[in-house]
Amino acid sequence: MMMNSSTTPSPFYASPRSGSGAPMWTLYAAGFDPRKFLVTQAALVQNTWPDPANFPKMTWATNYQRLACQTMFTFFYAGRDFAPKCVIDGVNIQDYLEAHFFGACRHLAQRIRDAGDLEEEVVIGYESMNEPNKGFVGHPDLTKIPKDQNLKKFTTPTAWQSMLSGSGREIDVDTYDFGSFGPYKSGTQHVDPKGISTWLDPETWDDSKYGWKRAESWKLGVDVWAQHGVWDPATDSMELPQYFAKHPTTGETLDQEYWTNHYFVAHYRKYRDAIRSVWPEAIMLCQPAPFEIPPTIKGTDDDDKNMVFASHFYDGITLITKKWNKLWNVDVLGLLRGRYSSPAFAIKVGETAIRNCFKNQLSSVRQEGIEHMGVHPCVYTEIGIPYDMDDQKAYKTGDYSSQAAAIDANHFAVEGSQAQGLTWWVYTASNSHFWGDNWNGEDLSIFCEEDLPLPSLSSSSDRSTTGGKSSPDPSSPRHSESQSQLSGASSAQVTPSNLKKTLTISDMTPIPRSTNQTTATDSGEARGYRAAEAYIRPHPELVHGNLLTHGFDLKTATFTLTLSAPSPTPSELPTVIFLPAFHFPPGSGQTSVEVSGGKWEVRSEEVREEGGEQQVLRWWCGEGEQKITVKGARRKVGPTADGGEGGEEEEGYLDAYWQMGKNCSVM
């Protein structure tokens, strides 16, 4: 388990009561009234939207470029430099927020240490703040949309417009949508807060509620940036459009690189030191801003042996369109790094090219980590796909083949990048077909209680699981039926261990619907794992020597691994590979193994946590480069969600993208 410090500023900072982000008091400490975020559009979140069921897709992500988040990120990392008047309890707002954040994380680490049996067994390390952002720092002109703002959706205000509407002023703001040409301007919207300000009203707010004392230099009810001379509320005129473009003391030009290597690194050092004051050997997962160049710390004191480079990856095209497009995709990282003279050249056509595109992007991110941070493990601590593709068609048909293909492409990319692993986003126990993850319209959970339950551990092992079933294959865990009509369905507690115990070939075969009504209710079984065949994959657990490559081909159920062994494998230290029984059914005669040399065995081992079993392959090989290939039970892959190999919509997107040339702006 890696502890991620997500209770920090993030796009969710402006989403009180949504279950993510920093605690509400931090917004009050910053002078905000979060109850006024909606009317001023200082932040837009589903739980305060007038019609939550129709909250615009992916609008939450635009909070990165709205007043609340931009201000909070600036406070959190650079408040001393850009908001010197914001003093609370005798210290700058940056120091105040950081001290409480580090103190909370240190307290958590101490409680875990005091438990006595969690460190190194349950908790293996601590990750830095989730998806950090530079806020206003480095903004070249507050009156314009910066060129590096790739996400434009719904209302897209400039920073200056956000400040105005945040103080109750009327604005006309451009609106954007995501279509064939990427983000495109769809019109304008008149935003009228009717004089309501998102800043705390000193007539109704009392700081003594939280026990802090605000300095006289910080006036409640007035935009903090107006108080620093950025704009004049008396005339509503912009005075310092480049206030954040240069360092106020040194005059240095500020950009993403400067922010990463100065503001982010300074924060990370304090976080690392806070954790290691409790656990000196703690593994620290350093997470810079995703898809940005990591900090240049190679060869410095920050390049420590117990650090992991953590990054995130999402396929933006699939995430925004909520469709697995097998026809084309885009090399987003290549575009961001300027590797193409025209965006048209970043198009990758065909599923094989798309999968390799993902792999190459993740390989590049890992390599950038090595070049800038030194040789450290690379873990993708957030990666996932939307399950509500194609207007939730899978929820009606039970065919999750599109989701399985997208999941497989992401896992293929991680395996091929030679990263050291991933943590999948997300498992949501309360996920439903209507509300998704109960979070800003997202539906990325691998689990949904409304989907077909996995049978109990005592399920008969002789249930038919092979042979000529028509596609989509109902024996596949990607095939699921809505169970919302089942009366009295239980919500069994699900853990990684009991999930692993259910993943046998028999236990992943759906029980006929006539028996489900009693089984789902009475047995307390695990329910609703969606497209599980794509993420339940073989992987190396222990390797004798250096791991060179490994990967799993879902379509052919073939796992390959190559390693370089410094010596013959000691008898007590074999290479160990996890073989999920669904893909490699024991005793079926459908699993074959080929090795370049040595001996191997397949056996079941006990899972310590709950007494279940898992199937592993153990391999002893000679010195030098060696290879093993394990082939399992091939299963018929279902059609695309629309029943074909790609539709007119996919082709239309490609045609439009191909023509847009240098005018394209891509997520």
pLDDT tens string 393-428: 999 999 999 999 999 999 999 999 999 999 999 999
Say whether both 430 and 482 belong to one domain: yes
Q: What is the mean pLDDT of residues 46-74?
A: 95
d(CA 186, CA 640): 30
- What 3-state DSSP class applies to 154? strand
Nearest to 420 by CA among 2, 109, 133, 5: 2
pLDDT of residue 412: 98
Residue-range definition of the domain harbouring residue 626: 538-631
Say whether both 515 and 545 belong to one domain: no
Say whether both 326 and 429 belong to one domain: yes
Q: What is the pLDDT of residues 314-330, one digit of tens each?
A: 999 999 999 999 999 99
Q: Classify the C-alpha dihedral 346-350-354-356 as positive or negative.
A: negative
Say whether both 505 and 574 belong to one domain: no
- DSSP state, 506? T
Place of tokens 């120091």: 95
Q: In one letter, which amino acid is 203? A: E
User: Has residue 592 got a pLDDT over 50?
Assistant: yes
Is 295 part of a structural domain of the chain? Answer: no
User: Has residue 638 got a pLDDT over 50?
Assistant: no
Is 353 part of a structural domain of the chain? Answer: yes
Nearest to 282 by CA among 150, 442, 105, 140: 105
pLDDT, averaged across the chain: 86
Say whether both 93 and 218 belong to one domain: yes
Write the secondary structure of 322-377 as one string of H (helix), E (strand) and C (coil): CCCCCCEEECHHHHHCCCCCCHHHHEEECHHHHHHHHHHHHHHHHHHHHHHHCCCC
- Are 511 and 483 spatial neighbours (Cβ–Cβ below 8 Å)? no
Output the CA–CA distances (angstroms, integers) from residue 301 to 88, 153, 472, 560, in the order listed. 33, 41, 55, 38
Say whether both 235 and 175 belong to one domain: yes
Q: What is the pLDDT of residues 330-378, one digit of tens each?
A: 999 999 999 999 989 999 999 999 999 999 999 999 999 999 999 999 9
pLDDT of residue 4: 59
Say whether both 40 and 142 belong to one domain: yes
Say whether both 315 and 405 belong to one domain: yes
Q: Tell the burial category of 477 from Cβ atoms under 10 Å away from its Cβ (0-12, 13-18, 19+).
A: buried
Is 657 part of a structural domain of the chain? Answer: no
Say whether both 234 and 86 belong to one domain: yes
User: Has residue 445 got a pLDDT over 50?
Assistant: yes
Q: What is the pLDDT of residues 70-105, one digit of tens each?
A: 999 999 999 999 999 999 999 999 999 999 999 999
Say whether both 326 and 437 belong to one domain: yes
Is 653 part of a structural domain of the chain? Answer: no
d(CA 369, CA 366): 5
DSSP strands (E only) in 392-483 = 421-424
Say whether both 480 and 554 belong to one domain: no
Is 402 part of a structural domain of the chain? Answer: yes
pLDDT of residue 453: 53
Q: What is the mean pLDDT of residues 224-236?
A: 99
Q: What is the pLDDT of residues 474-529, one digit of tens each?
A: 444 444 433 333 333 334 444 445 444 444 444 443 333 333 333 333 333 445 88
Domain boundary among 473, 502, 534: 534
User: Has residue 662 got a pLDDT over 80?
Assistant: no
pLDDT of residue 612: 78
User: Has residue 2 got a pLDDT over 80?
Assistant: no
For 50-62, b where at least 16 C-beta lie within 10 A, e where not — what string? eeeeebbbbbbbb
Confidence of residue 451 (pLDDT cuts 50, 70, 90): confident
User: Has residue 472 got a pLDDT over 60?
Assistant: no
Output 615 or 182, whichever has higher pLDDT: 615
Residues marked active site are found at: 131, 382
Say whether both 486 and 427 belong to one domain: yes
Tokens standing for 610?
A: 């709950």
Nearest to 377 by CA among 313, 304, 310: 310
pLDDT of residue 381: 98
Output 600 or 488, whichever has higher pLDDT: 600
The pTM (predicted TM-score) of the whole model is: 0.86
Q: What is the mean pLDDT of residues 465-474?
A: 35
User: Has residue 534 got a pLDDT over 80?
Assistant: yes
Is 305 part of a structural domain of the chain? Answer: no
pLDDT of residue 524: 38
- DSSP state, 34? G
- Total tally of structural domains belonging to the chain: 3
For 337-355, b where at least 16 C-beta lie within 10 A, e where not — what string? eeeeeebeebbbeebeebb
Is 300 part of a structural domain of the chain? Answer: no
Domain boundary among 534, 550, 568: 534
Strands 125-127 and 91-92: unpaired
Chain centroid offset of residue 598 CA: 40
d(CA 615, CA 237): 68
Is 656 part of a structural domain of the chain? Answer: no
Output 192 or 22, whichever has higher pLDDT: 192
Domain boundary among 286, 321, 353: 286
d(CA 60, CA 432): 19
Q: What is the pLDDT of residues 128-158, one digit of tens each?
A: 999 999 999 999 999 999 999 989 999 999 9
Tokens standing for 427?
A: 């498992």
- Are 322 and 384 spatial neighbours (Cβ–Cβ below 8 Å)? no
Q: What is the mean pLDDT of residues 41-54?
A: 95
- What is the largest distance, in Å, between two alpha-carbon atoms of the chain? 82
